[in-house]
Amino acid sequence: MAATDSEPLPTGAEKRQAVRSMFDAIAPRYDLVNRLMTFRMDVGWRNRTIESLHLPPGAAVLDLACGTGDLCRGLDAAGLRPIGMDLSFGMLASARTDAPLVHADALALPVADGSVDGITCGFALRNFVDLGPFFAELGRVVRPGGRIALLEVAEPPNPVLRAGHGIYFGKVVPVIGGLLSDGAAYRYLPKSVAYLPPAAQMLADLEAQGFFRVERRLLSTGIAQLITATRA
């Protein structure tokens, strides 16, 4: 996925295949680059994500697009029962977690209706081909009263911070990624924010799929966002 500035971002089946190949390629050094490029802030964001579920010990939680298993480990440590699912065999093979792992598409879950207490999903919304089927699957598989917590990057609302953030993610992160991993992948990652629909639309779409108490919090001045909701 070596998209240049002028090339359009891929869509549909082309995007699904490109995302899968990209994560297969960067899997071995994914955790290292993540920690470096976020100055370890990603660790705190994941903890907030897990806490925001407010689920009791033993609750069954799917971690969708689990990647190398960071959220699964945190869920486990919090006394919950995670199952990780991801599309990339490379990410699953690099995962460091005791949680069961399943190769599955988050847009077509191999899970029965209303069968899970909660769902987490970290930094994957912009990688999905379409958020409509993803939100529909959340509404289908979470039991009434169950919780979801979706963590994603964001752009700070403050214009000065947004400009600095744009330079960092657009210029510095691709260099770090290029030195330690795959430059093309880390040039794509900042651009992939363009796939995210406006926040208000995501919140409205979740309500339409049967969720209430749909809330969005900005983290670390708005460079990340956490969307939480309860299944009606």
Ligand X SMILES: C[S@@+](CC[C@H](N)C(=O)[O-])C[C@H]1O[C@@H](n2cnc3c(N)ncnc32)[C@H](O)[C@@H]1O
Which residues lie near ligand X (CB under 6 A)?
19, 23, 65-67, 70-71, 86-88, 91, 105-107, 122-124, 127-128
Q: In this structure, which amino acid lies at residue 37? A: M
CB of 89 to ligand X, least distance (A): 9
**What are the structure tokens assigned to 88, written together?**
């990339």
CB of 66 to ligand X, least distance (A): 5
Q: Which is nearer to ligand X, 123 or 169 (CB)?
A: 123
CB of 215 to ligand X, least distance (A): 20
| Helices and strands in the chain: count of H runs, count of E runs | 10, 7
Q: Which is nearer to ligand X, 44 or 145 (CB)?
A: 44
Query: How many angstroms separate the Cα of 74 from the Cα of each of 47, 197, 201, 226?
Result: 7, 28, 29, 16
Q: Which is nearer to ligand X, 186 or 211 (CB)?
A: 186
Q: Counting beta carbons within 10 angstroms of the beta carbon of residue 226, is it exposed (0 to 12), middle (13 to 18) or buried (19 or more)?
A: buried
Helices (H), 38-111: 41-51, 70-77, 89-94
Q: Are 139 and 210 in contact (CB under 8 A)?
A: yes
Say how far apart CA 159 and CA 161 lie, in whole Å: 6
CB of 158 to ligand X, least distance (A): 25
Q: Which is nearer to ligand X, 76 or 86 (CB)?
A: 86
**What are the structure tokens assigned to 10, written together?**
């891929």
CB of 70 to ligand X, least distance (A): 5
Q: Which is nearer to ligand X, 37 or 55 (CB)?
A: 37
Q: Which is nearer to ligand X, 67 or 174 (CB)?
A: 67
Taking CB atoms, the residue at the shortest distance from ligand X is 67
CB of 133 to ligand X, least distance (A): 9
Task: From 94, 97, 93, select the one nearest 83 (Cα to Cα).
Answer: 97
